[in-house]
Structure formats: structure tokens, C-alpha cells
Amino acid sequence: MTERGIGLGQELGLGPAERDVLVARAREKGYASAWTNARETRDPFDACARWTRDGLTAGISVVPLDAWDAGDLARAASETARKAAGFILGVGSGRAGKGALALVRDRVAMLRREAPGIPIYIGALGPRMLRLAGEVADGAALNWCNTERIAWSRERVGEGARRAGRDPKAIRMVEYIRVCVDDDEAAARSALTVAMLGYALAGPRRPKDRGYRIHFTRMGFDDVLTELETRRDRGEPIESLAADVPVDLVRTVGAFGHPASAAAGFTGLAEGLDLPIVRVVAARDAQDSARAVIDACAP
């Protein structure tokens, strides 16, 4: 596995020019694609259009479909594809809840009609969405997975592909793998764990049998998360909670620490993927952290 992407999320707080400089650095280091997450603005589409001028593939992973008007999304995707030959659109159900599967199926079909020719990846965690990716998408976009979950996800995608008469090998398995590089390993671990808990912890009075909470439960995190949720509800800050997540558990879904150890962790977590995406987590200054991650995990 040599091909990899770089992921610069909007949570880093970087401006367009700052991210463009980092993407150019990644291209020079041998990364094949650049990715960003989406909000309810055109900024991610504009970023992808700029990044493909450097000879990279660029993608959004993922656009929350419940937050976008269908027509607006099709127009934004079509306009970006006209400017960016290597544009990939990732879509997900967002907070749709009940009816999420039907929403994604319908919107993918609409995008195929209204924005033809654009590769579409579906953000998927559970078995039904993974099978849907195998049926109708060009790729399945995973998130926060251990290697066993990657293998399990590929099997579910394959089931959907075969059901639709498609070749399972034609559907790409891609994933954001969070990486935090810092000479202070404790600081890197804390930053990565806080990022993880932002996904893994169920919100107050929210069910624990759906979304990312059940995803982490399936990977063995339930006992730890249940205790942390109780402490969180009593008012304990997330940084304090992060300190008590077992380090071995954190390492099953993300990589952190000194450059060599973070790079080795990333390589291990990328097993079974067609495209692992190095998603930057910042321990300190976002630009410095991003440069450190880009350099450490270069192909």
C-alpha cells in the first residue's frame, strides 16, 4: 500500500491560503489526494477545485445530506467537477436518523442523474449502509475503524455489490485515519483521544444503540464509554475523561506520538484499505501539527 491521501478538516480552523500551502506540501511529499469535510457552505467545493490544479485528486468526505437541498448539492458538485477533473464526492446521512438509508439511496440516484460522471462515496458504519455502498456507490468511506472492523466492512460492501451484480473489487474502501504527531507524546495522545470522544460518546439522553456510539461499542469500547458518559454528565471536562481512556484502546483506531511511532501506527491501521487518508489532529498550533503529520506519514 503506497497510495494515500491527506485530510485537512475544517475543525483545524485554518484559512483557505493556509490549507492550500499544506496541500502543496503534501503533493510534494507524494500524497495522491487531498480531502476535507463538509459544512453547509460552498467552501469545501471551492477547496477541491483549487487542490486539483496541483495534480491531485480532491474529495469531500462527507457531505451530510440532511443539511443540503438536493438541487443545490447537485449544482455545487457539477460546477466543481467542471473545474476539477479529479473531484470525488462523499455523501452521508448526517443526523437523518430514521429513513437515513432511503435518503442516501434516493440522493445518490439523483446525483447520478443530475451530476453524472462524478465518483460518489458513501459514508458508512453499519451493515445496511455498507451494503448500500456496495450496491450503488464507487466507494465506502469509513471512519474510526480498527483493522477487524475494516475487514468486516469490506465483507458487507461485497454482499451489497454481489446483490446488485457488481464486482466487489470495483468499490473502493477508504478511511480517515486520525494522526497526531508531537514530541510530547502525552499531548498527542490527549488531542487524539479528545477527538475520538467527540464521536464516540453518546450525547446526554441520546440512545447508545445507533450512530458512532454503537460503532464504538462493536469495537469493544462500551464499558469505558459508559463510565465516561456518567462522569461527563456530572460535569467532568472532556480533557479529564480522555486521560482515563486506555492507551491500547486508543491505538486501535488512531495513531499518535513521535513521528516514527505515529507513522508505524498509521501503517498498521491502514491494513485492508484501498485508500487510507491521513486525517490531521492538532496537538498545538494547527499549521505546525499539520506539517508534522504530513512529513511523518508521507508515502
- Give kind and range of the element (H or E) at residue 16: helix 16-29
DSSP reduced 3-state for 173 = strand
22, 294 contact by CB (below 8 A)? yes
In this prediction, residues 273-279 reach a mean pLDDT of 98
According to DSSP, the residues that pair with 58 across neighbouring strands are 34, 87
Q: What is the DSSP string of 120-169?
A: EEEE--SHHHHHHHHHH-SEEEEES--HHHHHHHHHHHHHHHHHTT--GG
Per residue in 33-58, pLDDT (tens digit) is 999 998 767 899 999 999 998 789 99
- Domain coordinates of the chain in residue numbers? 5-183+255-296, 185-242
**Residues 231-256, mean pLDDT to the nearest whole number:** 97
Per-residue model confidence as pLDDT tens digits over 186-210: 999 999 999 999 999 999 988 999 9
pLDDT at 69: 94
Q: Residue 1: pLDDT above 60? A: no
Q: What is the model's pLDDT at position 62?
A: 95
Query: Among residues of the chain, what percentage have pLDDT more than 90?
Result: 94
Domain over 5-183+255-296 is classified CATH 3.20.20.30: yes
What's the pLDDT at 253?
98
Query: What does the pLDDT read at residue 20?
Result: 97
Q: Is the pLDDT score of 213 beyond 80?
A: yes
